[in-house]
Every structure is written in structure tokens, then in C-alpha cells.
A and B are shown apart, each in its own frame.
Chain A
Amino acid sequence: MDFDDTPDEAAYRARVRDLLAQHAGDLVHLDAGEEAADAGEQEQALRRTQRVLAEAGLVGVAWAAEHGGQGGSLAQQAIIGQELARAKVPSLINHIGIGMCGPTVIAHGTPDQHERYLARLLRADDVWCQLFSEPASGSDLAALRTTAVRDGDDWVVNGQKVWTTLAHVSDHGILLTRTDPDRPKHGGLTMFVVDMHAPGVTVRPLRQMGGQSDFNEVFFDDVRIPDTERLGEPGEGWRVALTTLLNERVAVGGGGNDLGLSVESLARLAAAKLPGLTAQRQVLARQAVGRAAVAALGNRYTGYRRLTAISQGGLPGPEASAGKLAGTAAAKLVADAGVRLLGDDAVFAVGTGDDEAGRWQRNQAWLPGIAIAGGTDEVLRNIIGERVLGLPPEPREDKHRPFNASGSTR
């Protein structure tokens, strides 16, 4: 047992660190919780950052060389993630494209689609989004209602998607539709690549509870998609979507990184604020800091176990769902301890002093979304209960009925 890089990993890390230092002038750098003043300028800067990283061979390293990647390992991918965080380079603008859409196109797309999309995706020439959730189907994704109807060489799409991260800056998306409502809900779905600039696609940003606009609702009105943009066979859309969702778990469940502001940030805040508290308040604050630190460390070291499995060539299984569940819980303890340390200043969304209060407030207002996105806490508990502990599923009454007779359309 050790926490050291293997000699190969150490050499790789050194190379990544060198490359990040060499290109530092062309990369965006942001402190955790810091926000750019101008969203439009930020988008261009983030696209440029990803292009620079891609040209340095640091994007999609675990993808095969024929798809524009480096043919590297998930362990190398994890090292890049750690070094980007260390250098304070924010998430890649196309992280959904790289983590979820790209792997789905690789697994189910045609050689022509590979050729047209993958290299541009890695360079952020095109930004991608994932068009899955709908107003009436979030956790119950297979109950979605957006329809695609065959018309000659095209499909005609009508419906609405929602909670679509990055749709407002996206050039392409992977779109899950219902093509056969007479079949049971999982069997009547088909996946497409959609051009987000096509006529009939309307993107409307949604404002989140914290005030930011990272995601959108997307309307499809008679949008024509050529049949050549289909991913997988008609009716096979659920199987294709599972590829996406598995990769989402790999991307999100990963290495036990702190979600939101780190426990180290909390330690710095606590060291600054504690001396100003009464003795009784210090006792309470220390309990909160200690509890949050233990939760964060438990999650961090559990992440190291998953990284070990990846480093030895394994793939994260459904256990990775536990990483997001525990990571979210730890992040909430850290955020809550931090906000309470701000005391009276925490009643303002942005504090009266420096931006420290704003950072903690934004963090606090961001975490409820993390407990929902990419599998709610409850869905993750079902996955772990059924696929890890082997507990029986709840009866799903609509599973075998034709979708249009299942009650899911109400």
C-alpha cells in the first residue's frame, strides 16, 4: 500500500505539470468559487484554453489515437484532472462532450460521424451538450416524450428538453427521443446527434437558484435530423443512453475530489474566524469543522481506492455512485460549517467585506443542484441498493406496457 505515483505515473505527472507551466499564459485560471465578470468573454477564453490543452495532448488522453486521443489510461486522465485543479485551471468547457457525448459517439457512431465530430470536440471547436431530461422525465428518463418521426431520409423532432447544461453555447448535442410509442418505454427510444444551430431549435437559459445561468430549456419545433445522424439502431436508444450514463459515472464518481469548496478552504477560513468568536462559539465551530473534515477525508480516501482500481486497469462499477452520494454529503457539511463561520455576514448573498462571503454563499447555493444532477441522491441509493447490495427493485408497473398505454404520458 502506498499513495505514490508509479515511476511511469510520476514521469507523466511531471510532463503534464511542465506543459501546464509552459502554456500558462494561454490558459484561464480561476480560484475555486471565483466567477468571471463577463460570461461571453469567459466562453471564448475557455474555448481557447481547451484548444491549447488539446494541442498539448492533454484532452481525451484515454481515447484511442484513431479518435484523436492519446491511447492513454484512465489513471493518466486522473493525473491530468489533479494537475489542472492544482494549477487552478477550471473544468474544460467541453467536459460534457468529452466525458459523455464523445464516448457515446465513439461507441455507437459511424466512421463518418467519428471523422466529422471527434477531433473538433476535443479542441472545443464544437461544444456539446446532452439532451436527455425533460420537464416530465428526470429520474424516470425512459418516460421521455420528445418525439422523432421518420420522414423520407430525415427524422422530424418535436418536444422539449430541460436542465441542459451548456446548451446555450453548444454546437451539437446527443438527443434521446421517442420513435415508437407503441412499445414499452425503454424499447421505443432512438438517439441522434442534433445540430444545435438547426432551424426549429430554440435555447432559453434558465436561471438557477444561486442566480447563475449554466443550464437551459431547449425546444424542438419540426427540427429535421438526417437519418445519417442516428446513433445506434431505431429502438436501441436506451442501450445507447446507458453508454452515456456509465461514462457520466466514470466522469463524476471518479477520484474523491472535494465537490465545491475544499476542506482546506474551510481550514483557512476557520483559522481566520475562530479567534474572533467567544469560547462557547469556538467549541461549536470546532465540532462543525472536525465533522466536515472527517467526512471529506473519508470521501477523499475512498476516492483513492477507486483510483487504485482504475490504475490497475479496472472500471468503476455501480460502487462509484457511492462516491457522489458521500461526496455531496461531505460538501454540504463543509459548506455549512463555512457559511456559519461567516456569522452575521452570511445573511448577504455577497458580503460587505471581501469576496470570501460571496464564495461561500455561491457554494452553498450550488450544492442542492449537485444532489440532483447526474442522478439524485435517491436514485443513487436505489442503484447501490439494487446493484451492489442485491436488494429487490420496487415494482415498476409501466415497465412492460406500451408507452402510450402506460400512464407515463399523463
Chain B
Amino acid sequence: MNFDLDQDQLDAAAGAKQFFTGQASPAQARAALEDGPLAPGRRALADIGFLGITVAEDAGGAGGSLLDLAVVAEQAGAQLAGPSLVTAARAAVLLADQPELAAALADGSRAFCVVDGSGPALDAVGADTFLALVDGDLVVGGGEVTTGQPMDATRGLGVVTLTDPRVLVAGAAALWARARDVALVALAAEDLGTAGKAVEVGVAYAKERHAFGRAIGSYQAVKHGLVDAWVGVEQLRSLVWWAAWAADAAPDELPLAAASAKAFAAETLERAAETCIQVHGGIGFTWEHDAHLYWRRAKVDRLLLGDAAEHHDVVAGLVLAGALS
């Protein structure tokens, strides 16, 4: 039994933490709501190699595992970075046999967006290359993007109408399903980082803020809420690691693990973000404070790629079909 990160992954996490802390922040997520640029942005993510973590080495990537990507995605989530590593992870699976496009993903020369039907697509804003499943085939093409006023501008959400699609892979349903499961894991990993950060910010404030003569974190009503959020984060970490490990080492377990991680991520991040606001009281409800930026991420991410109810149903279906026996 060795269910822990290895030293390379711990080092990668530390490096990623330093990078994202320097290159992205809740302040920049707030600025993006008022038309500021995405931080760190596609160029910086490509330059440090994060868009190609799971792209094959001969296509210019690092040839890493999904777990390698997940530890970096957690740090991206902690700083509300954009564009998402969800798109990078998902496109890398879809482009596994397309070395030129995969190279363009890794080096950032193309801006990819993966489109599910007619729903809003992640990282659609500013994208130039769109991947979709049409009549069972994987297609690539341009697209016209329609956006609303964003809840969370770092997600780049938009509804896409494909233009000039051409078939890349015929009969790609299984490939598409695997890529979608990989996307669920990467999204859960980003949410893990955001949830952990929201708890950390809430705990720090509960130690510092005094009311009725003592730190509010000493009151059980406040303390227990933070503890429940923290316990959720640690349970989520276990599900994310399991799912990321399964993607490469036990593909049969991936559908159950990915759906479990996504369902749990949705509710864990929501609770962490809401607790963070509540612990901060009035200040947590202001535009200037970071709490609402974690909350925005929570309220958007929980709906992306299927909500908790959808994934609980997927888990039930797999469990009923004997996935645990």
C-alpha cells in the first residue's frame, strides 16, 4: 500500500504553488470580472509546460500521468487560475493520435476548447480550435462563441457553434468518454485546491477576529463548521488521487472514481466557499474581499460537466452493476 504522492510529485506541487502564487490570484479573478485578462493566461501556462503535462513527449509534452497533472491543477485551483487545466487534460486525451495538434496544445500556439453538445463550454472565450463529438465522430473546427455576463470570468464559458468541422477520429465514442472522465478528475483537482484555500482563509480569519472577548474560532459553532469543511477537503483529496491514479493504472476503475470525485468536489467546494463567507461575516459579503471569488468558482464548477445529482446517478448505476464486487 503506497497511496501517497512520490517525491517528484511533491516537488512538482511545490513548484506549481510558487508559479501560481506569483502569476494568478483572486485579485486577478476579480479584475477578470471587469474585463481584465486571464491570469496566468495560456502563454504563461504553455511556457512553464503545464498545458503539455499529459501530452506525449514526441509531441512536445512531458508524457506525464494524470496524477502529475492533478497535483498541478490543485495549485491552479487555489489561485483561481485560468485558462483551466481541465481543457488541457481533456484535449490531450482526444489528440493522443494527432501529434501536430497535440504539439499545438502543449506549446500554446492554438487555444483549444472542448464542446459538449449545446451547453456552455469551458475556455471557449478566446479559443480558436474546437473539439466536439458529432454523430459519434471526433471533429475539429472553428467556432462562434456566444457568452453571457460571467459568474466566474476565469472559466471562459461560452456557447459554441462549430464552423467548418472536419472529422479527426471516426467512431470516437469510447475515446470521448475517457476524455470526459479525465476532465472530471482535472476539474475535481482544481476544485480541491480552491476548497482547501477557502478553508485556509476561513481558519486564518477565525484565529484573528475577536468577538465577545475572544477569537471567534474558539466558539464551537464556528470551529465545527470549519472542521467539517476541512474533513470534506481531505476526503476529496483521497478521491481525486484515486481517480487520477486509476486513469493510468486501472482504467476500469476510472468511471466510478471520476464520477465520485466530481460529485464530491461539487458539494465540498460549495460548502467550503459558503463557510468561508459565513466565518467572515459582513466583510465576506463585499466585492473587495476574496471570499466571493471562491464562491463564484464553486457555484459555476458544480454545474460543469454534470452536477452532483448526475454523477451520483452514474455512481449508483456502476455500483448496481457490480463495480465494487
A: residues with CB less than 8 A from B are 1-5, 9, 75, 263-264, 267, 270-271, 274, 283, 286-287, 289-291, 293-295, 297-299, 301-302, 304-305, 307-309, 311, 319, 322, 325-326, 378, 381-382, 384-386, 388-395
Distance in angstroms from B277 CB to nearest chain A CB is 18
Q: How far is the CA of A325 from the CA of B319 in the complex (A)?
A: 24
- Give the residues in chain B near A264, CB-CB below 8 Å: 324-325
Distance in angstroms from B213 CB to nearest chain A CB is 9
- Asked whether B234 lies within 8 Å of A302 as measured between CB atoms, the reply is yes
Q: Which of B218, B228, B312 contacts A394 (CB 8 A)?
A: B218
A263-B319, A299-B235, A394-B219 in contact; A9/B1 too (CB < 8 A)? Answer: yes
Q: How far is the CA of A92 from the CA of B285 in the complex (A)?
A: 54
Q: How far is the CA of A393 from the CA of B206 in the complex (A)?
A: 12
- Between-chain CB contacts (< 8 Å), 7 pairs: A270-B316, A287-B309, A289-B315, A290-B315, A290-B319, A298-B239, A304-B3
Interface residues contributed by chain B, number (CB under 8 Å): 51
- Asked whether A4 lies within 8 Å of B1 as measured between CB atoms, the reply is yes
- Give the residues in chain A near B226, CB-CB below 8 Å: 385, 389, 391
Q: Which of B206, B227, B316 contacts A293 (CB 8 A)?
A: B316
Is B217 in contact with chain A by the CB < 8 A criterion?
yes
Scan B225-265; emit 1 where CB is below 8 A from any A CB, else 0.
01110110011111101100100010000001100100110
Q: How far is the CA of A135 from the CA of B313 in the complex (A)?
A: 45
Which A residue's beta carbon lies closest to that of B199?
A389
- Give the residues in chain A near B215, CB-CB below 8 Å: 391-392
Q: Which of A3, A299, A391, A393 contacts B1 (CB 8 A)?
A: A3
Q: Which of B3, B217, B236 contacts A1 (CB 8 A)?
A: B3
Q: Which 5 A-B pairs have the closest CB atoms?
A: A290-B312, A298-B235, A301-B238, A290-B316, A391-B217
Q: Which of B255-292 contact A (CB under 8 A)?
A: 256-257, 260, 263-264
Is B148 in contact with chain A by the CB < 8 A criterion?
no
- Asked whether A1 lies within 8 Å of B218 as measured between CB atoms, the reply is no
Distance in angstroms from A385 CB to nearest chain B CB is 4
- Asked whether B325 lies within 8 Å of A307 as measured between CB atoms, the reply is no
Which A residue's beta carbon lies closest to that of B222?
A391
Q: How far is the CA of A9 from the CA of B228 in the complex (A)?
A: 34
Q: How far is the CA of A394 from the CA of B214 in the complex (A)?
A: 9
Is B224 in contact with chain A by the CB < 8 A criterion?
yes
- Asked whether A3 lies within 8 Å of B3 as measured between CB atoms, the reply is yes
Known: A299-B235, A322-B230. 18 other contacts (CB 8 A): A1-B5, A5-B1, A263-B319, A263-B324, A270-B320, A283-B313, A286-B317, A286-B320, A290-B319, A298-B236, A302-B238, A307-B3, A325-B231, A381-B227, A385-B224, A389-B226, A390-B207, A392-B217
- Asked whether B1 lies within 8 Å of A392 as measured between CB atoms, the reply is no
- Asked whether A305 lies within 8 Å of B238 as measured between CB atoms, the reply is yes
- Give the residues in chain B near A322, CB-CB below 8 Å: 230-231, 234
Distance in angstroms from A310 CB to nearest chain B CB is 9
Distance in angstroms from A320 CB to nearest chain B CB is 11
Q: Which of B3, B218, B317 contacts A393 (CB 8 A)?
A: B218
- Give the residues in chain B near A308, CB-CB below 8 Å: 1-4
Q: Which of A5, A271, A378, A390 contacts B203 (CB 8 A)?
A: A390
Q: Which of B2, B227, B257 has the most CB of A within 10 A?
A: B227
Q: How far is the CA of A392 from the CA of B263 in the complex (A)?
A: 33
Which B residue's beta carbon lies closest to that of A305?
B3
Q: How far is the CA of A165 from the CA of B219 in the complex (A)?
A: 32
Distance in angstroms from A96 CB to nearest chain B CB is 26
Distance in angstroms from A233 CB to nearest chain B CB is 33
Scan B169-180; emit 1 where CB is below 8 A from any A CB, else 0.
000000000000
Q: How far is the CA of A2 from the CA of B214 in the complex (A)?
A: 46
- Give the residues in chain B near A294, CB-CB below 8 Å: 239, 260, 263-264, 312, 315
Distance in angstroms from A357 CB to nearest chain B CB is 20
Q: How far is the CA of A299 from the CA of B264 in the complex (A)?
A: 12
- Give the residues in chain A near B249, CB-CB below 8 Å: 1-2
- Give the residues in chain A near B224, CB-CB below 8 Å: 378, 381-382, 385
Distance in angstroms from B219 CB to nearest chain A CB is 7
Distance in angstroms from A10 CB to nearest chain B CB is 11
Distance in angstroms from B272 CB to nearest chain A CB is 13
Q: How far is the CA of A245 from the CA of B138 in the complex (A)?
A: 58
- Asked whether A293 lies within 8 Å of B3 as measured between CB atoms, the reply is no
Distance in angstroms from A135 CB to nearest chain B CB is 23
- Give the residues in chain B near A75, CB-CB below 8 Å: 1
Which A residue's beta carbon lies closest to that of B311?
A290
Is B223 in contact with chain A by the CB < 8 A criterion?
yes
Q: How far is the CA of A290 from the CA of B311 in the complex (A)?
A: 8
Distance in angstroms from A86 CB to nearest chain B CB is 13
Is B12 in contact with chain A by the CB < 8 A criterion?
no
- Give the residues in chain A near B4, CB-CB below 8 Å: 1, 305, 308-309
